[in-house]
Amino acid sequence: MSQVIAVSRHANYSFSKPNAASITLLAGLGVAGDIHAGELVKHRSRVARDPTVPNLRQVHLLHAELFDELAAKGFSLTPGAIGENVTTRGLDLLALPQGTLLRLGAEALLRVTGLRNPCLQLDRFAPGLMAATLDRTPDGKLVRKAGIMAVVVQGGEVRPGDPLTVTLPEGPTLPLEPV
């Protein structure tokens, strides 16, 4: 069963986000009380490039299975440590196509927009972490493992233990790309 195992938010720019008992997702905005909530881009590097671009990174989801993989490489991470809002278990987030709908709990609905592109902040948090979240396919294609990004289609409360259900887009699909 796919489920939410932790939820996190931070009102200020900070790499890590503290866990919460619940978060409120707001349609078209993101996580209530989180610095990255808003209709337009909020990530500082993106704001510097063009502050008028729609925010396709309202909610950051990360699969807890990555923590297991990174632990085998000597990294000890906990939910929220690398900035995600929702930590999941039991779903291969990276394999989802663009436009996938994710129902979290009874009400909240997200639309997957793309991949989180690992950045140097990971190395500032733990040296070597950025490289550990990257891989290559046998044919040399770069694999980014630092989670996925989504926008809020329908708001609602999300708590650890909430079920996570997937609705794939109809018709041809596109793989996730960094957003």
In this prediction the pTM is: 0.96
Q: What is the pLDDT of residue 89?
A: 98
Alpha-carbon distances, residue 11 vs 33, 80, 141 (angstroms): 5, 13, 36
Alpha-carbon distances, residue 2 vs 41, 78, 102, 106, 163 (angstroms): 29, 18, 11, 14, 6
Q: What is the pLDDT of residue 120?
A: 86
Pairing of strands 134-136, 142-144: antiparallel
Token duo for residue 138: 């046998």
Kindly list the domain boundaries of the chain, sorted by start residue: 3-167
Q: DSSP alpha helices (H): ranges in 4-163?
A: 44-49, 65-71, 121-125, 129-132
Q: What is the pLDDT of residue 38?
A: 96
Amino acid sitting at position 49: R
CA-wise closest residue to 58 among 92, 97, 27, 12:
27
Tell me how many helices (H) and strands (E) the chain has. 4, 13
Cα–Cα distance between 11 and 83 in angstroms, integer? 12
CATH of 3-167, one of 2.40.33.20, 3.30.499.10, 2.60.420.10, 2.40.50.140: 2.40.33.20
64 close to 88: Cβ distance less than 8 angstroms:
yes
Q: Average pLDDT for consecutive 10-residue bins of the chain (179 residues)?
A: 97 95 98 97 88 96 98 97 97 98 98 93 95 95 97 98 98 96
Contact residues for 16 (Cβ-Cβ < 8 A; gap 6+): 10, 80, 81, 82, 83, 125
